[in-house]
Chains A and B, each alone.
Chain A
């Protein structure tokens, strides 16, 4: 093809001198081992390439070969349930080829091209098909139906069509006559990972993504198609919280990107997800999950790419009409990869050594979330939940601050809550959700008319407590008047009995919205009742001694998710206690 050779090597950065053979973002093979790389800078003197693999062992003079296309993901059946590295190489396949360690220059097919899929072809001869239209379907897993779509940019008339049956991903099943000639359509297609896939139009986001986590669903909800940031220092429980979302949220498909994180944690996710059963379908969770595992010791450039690979796969399934949720753990590692490569290029750094384009990259990425009408006529959504690991747990650092600008939910994880083993350690005073107005009509219609009202009251009590704690810290709780003591006592109940949620408890790990609402109702009910007692001059200490507050903290465990009626027993108990106190 061409005679371009390596000139310089510096870590993952390779330079080629005086070449005009490459284009920006083109994928290249580097050296005799054919390491995968991408062109990131071009001028007449030199071409700069970042290598997705370790460069040890390369020598100047070895060939660099362009592929003519940008870094792309291969889209087709076999993605779900698979585990890829940052550039979509299946890790199981790598294990088969080269054992327990990941070597360099391991060229494996992104998707299994030997596997036969039982495909039902829906296109008819002479039919006019446009880009994004569905021409065939197959069962990818028991719970997910794969819909094959005409590649974007292709429109034409069907001139040849194969019957339904067993095909491999590279088999031609359809021929289209297009303005530019005859197009062969196979069961897979490529898409450049850095470019968003095309949609028909954006739709308003007004349906919540239900996670079963009380502090999220009830207090700081997120919409399907929305985006959220989850910042927290180490040990604050980011990964644990992400796992909970991935397990329980009501999206059809989960894309879990472990970006520069721990190997053992990835293994845990992989093991756990094959054992867990999806409550909606009764099938293993792994049948609706796509894993991307680029652990921290895997090459840094592939870490940078892993986020884009993940979102591209998510978009492909959104285009089929699914609700997809993508968890990225952690986007700080992605930003650091950007910084590392930028440093090697000797670019002028902006804030804290991060390149100036960090902000635009972040906004581009988060804008790929959304709910849309697809080219195939279906609707789908992508929700992005990005974890951020701020240096020294300092939320004023650039990645947290800039991510905050482009997302609408901020779930701040608090070290002090984690120290006290209050999980999920979402700090209720620092966090927020901007989706209330979009989602409240849905909550009112589908959960109950009082849902937003209860939330508001709960938030008010918590804020009141925060204010009072300032005083308590100075003079102790005993000097407060009874009505303020009530706020503190109720806030305690909210914290222990409502916000704290036990991921390892069978009933508590996932809580349906109705139970969340009923729990809020009971707490507010008790608050109002005791408030009346206080106006009737009954001392609050009597109420506390009656044990009714600590009794309610147990309701999260004692009311089964499938028998909400049991929660009314608490109303009876509250009434009884109150009556006893009045008399």
Chain B
């Protein structure tokens, strides 16, 4: 039944309304024919009797009340999928844009996905070695986790994401079927091409699926982009058995698109104008990560978001942090000191870390080392604020050692080259070496056996400078 309805009754922002329609299905896809023979796409977002309100992905510019015909397809938004999506580039709505033609679809999947039954999930426990000390030792990434990067404009989050993709090795002996899904939402052209270039340089491009909605692409399409990308990721993971790493940047643009849509719909705004259902909406994206019983693949998410005004309590990072399993927070302060990656470890956290490290996975001392580094570095902050009042010279001997520990920790442990890939052994040994700047009695977190084994008692061994080629 291909009925086309002519004429609209209302256009408001990205929404159009059609009257006197029959058999409309909530959430179905509609095609909008303009009289210059272009077709746009939309989705039914509200029904009131015989009136349907449609969200137009490409925007409503040039649509008039009379020049338009609307066709209801009766189907929800679906994505065409086949194993050859690997290596392809799609628009933010899932249409191929790389000039390689349409995909020979083997399967269509609803982009909204379905919630994974908590009973069917497998609790993620295998750690992913990224070769980045601060992440591996302190914010360990686990396969099936969702671990966002909280960044700000001007910080090197893209570089960090690229380094993670290049160096990520998944432990375990099985043959690694590794794929990357990259979703760009409202990012600049050069950011997208930077990712593309880096993927090509490191030879993973044929394992990457890209969904690009750039900053000059239609805003409302952006609401679809993460859903489309995650549908592809779920297909690769749970149908084809890949271990998929999903990079989504920038979730802030996504949330702004959602706000624009919500306000044009006339909804009551919540905090900072974002819709009251932002949390539920975010979770419908972030919760699509994990592992499922009787399936080999996994979906690991690294969403990137820029914190407006560097404010971690802004609703976007705030609500994200409540859903994701931790966060990697970048700091402008460290960035200014020339430290890369500028990870502020104190507010950073990996919730799944505790069960994915230790003797069975990394090394027996990992948890204790991490705890002790966190505790000692937290103390460094207190000493620094004291030093800023009374001056470093007036600190007692212990506190002076904390100051030294703090700067060495930042300079040699957190700081590393974008191409440097450290093994977990190196990272853990380095951590102990730096901790050994502090007297043993200050390390209250460590059990005595572990401390005996790893603490560097011979302070002669603690000169870092000559070793600098190791850390440069």
Give the interface of A toward B (CB within 8 A).
7-11, 15, 17, 54-61, 83, 91-92, 94-95, 99-103, 233-235, 258, 260, 262-268, 270-271, 293, 295-298, 300, 333, 336-337, 339-340, 343, 346, 349, 352-353, 389, 391-394, 415-416, 419-422, 472-478, 496, 504, 547, 550, 553, 557
Contacts and interface: CB of A to CB of B under 8 A. Distances in A.
Contacts of B445: 421
Contact of B123 (A11, A56, A264, A421): A264
Nearest to A397: B271
Interface in B403-427: none
Given A102-B117, A293-B118, A268 B123 contact: yes
Most B CB contacts (10 A, CB to CB) among A264, A267, A475 go to A264
Nearest to A497: B444
A83 to B, nearest CB: 6
Given A353-B269, A420-B375, A504-B367, A60 B441 contact: no
B268 to A, nearest CB: 5
Contacts of A103: 114
A15 B114 CA distance: 24
Contacts of A9: 26, 46-47
A264 B76 contact: no
30 contacts: A8-B47, A8-B48, A9-B26, A15-B48, A56-B112, A58-B26, A101-B120, A102-B114, A233-B321, A234-B318, A234-B321, A235-B327, A260-B279, A263-B290, A264-B144, A266-B121, A293-B118, A293-B119, A297-B280, A297-B284, A336-B280, A343-B276, A349-B268, A391-B319, A392-B318, A394-B313, A420-B375, A420-B379, A473-B389, A553-B444
B27 to A, nearest CB: 3
B323 interface: yes
Interface in B22-63: 23-28, 45-50
Interface string B231-265: 00000001000000000000000000000000000
A55 B27 contact: yes
B69 interface: no
A309 B254 CA distance: 34
A7 B386 contact: no
Q: Which 3 A-B pairs rank lowest in CB-CB distance, beginning with the nearest?
A: A392-B313, A296-B283, A56-B27
A264 B117 contact: no
Given A260-B283, A476-B394, A476-B396, A11 B118 contact: no
Interface in B99-153: 112-124, 144-145
Interface stretch (B165-173, B344-352, B429-437): B344-352
B378 A419 contact: yes
Interface of B: 23-28, 45-50, 76, 112-124, 144-145, 238, 267-271, 275-277, 279-280, 283-284, 287-288, 290, 292-295, 312-315, 318-319, 321-323, 325-327, 346-347, 349, 351-352, 354-355, 367, 371, 374-375, 378-379, 385-386, 389-390, 394-396, 399, 441, 444-445, 447
Contacts of A54: 112
Q: Which secondary structure dominates chain A's binding surface? A: mixed
Nearest to A298: B115
A235 B326 CA distance: 7
A55 B24 CA distance: 13
Contact of A297 (B124, B145, B288, B371): B288
B114 A235 contact: no
B441 A547 contact: yes
Contacts of B76: 56-57
A101 B292 CA distance: 9
A420 B347 contact: no
B375 A476 contact: no
Interface majority SS (helix, strand, loop, mixed), chain B:
mixed
> Most chain-A Cβ atoms within 10 A of its Cβ — which of B238, B279, B325, B349?
B279
Nearest to B234: A101
Contacts of A11: 277
A377 B196 CA distance: 72
A91 B351 CA distance: 24
Contacts of B288: 297
B49 A262 contact: no
B24 A59 contact: yes
B116 A339 contact: no
Given A17-B49, A419-B378, A300 B386 contact: no
A420 B271 contact: no
Given A83-B119, A263-B116, A10 B25 contact: no
B318 A95 contact: no
B249 to A, nearest CB: 21
A15 B48 CA distance: 8
A87 to B, nearest CB: 14
Nearest to B27: A56
Contacts of A346: 268
B285 to A, nearest CB: 8
A57 B277 contact: no
B25 A264 contact: no
Contacts of A421: 371, 374-375, 378, 445
Contacts of B117: 91, 94-95, 99-102
Contacts of A352: 270-271
A266 B123 CA distance: 9
A264 B23 contact: no
B119 A7 contact: no
A243 B292 CA distance: 23
A99 B27 contact: no
Given A100-B117, A100-B293, A57 B444 contact: no
A393 B279 contact: no
Contacts of B294: 100
Which of A11, A260, A392, A473: most chain B CB closer than 10 A? A392
Contacts of A61: 23
Contacts of A557: 447
Nearest to B376: A420
B123 A343 contact: no
Nearest to A91: B119
Contacts of B378: 416, 419-421
A60 B115 CA distance: 25
Nearest to A348: B268
Given A101-B114, A295-B287, A264 B26 contact: no
A103 B113 CA distance: 10
Contact of A270 (B116, B119, B355, B394): B119
A553 B443 CA distance: 12
Contacts of A101: 113-117, 120
Contacts of B119: 83, 91-92, 94-95, 267, 270, 293
A262 B292 contact: no
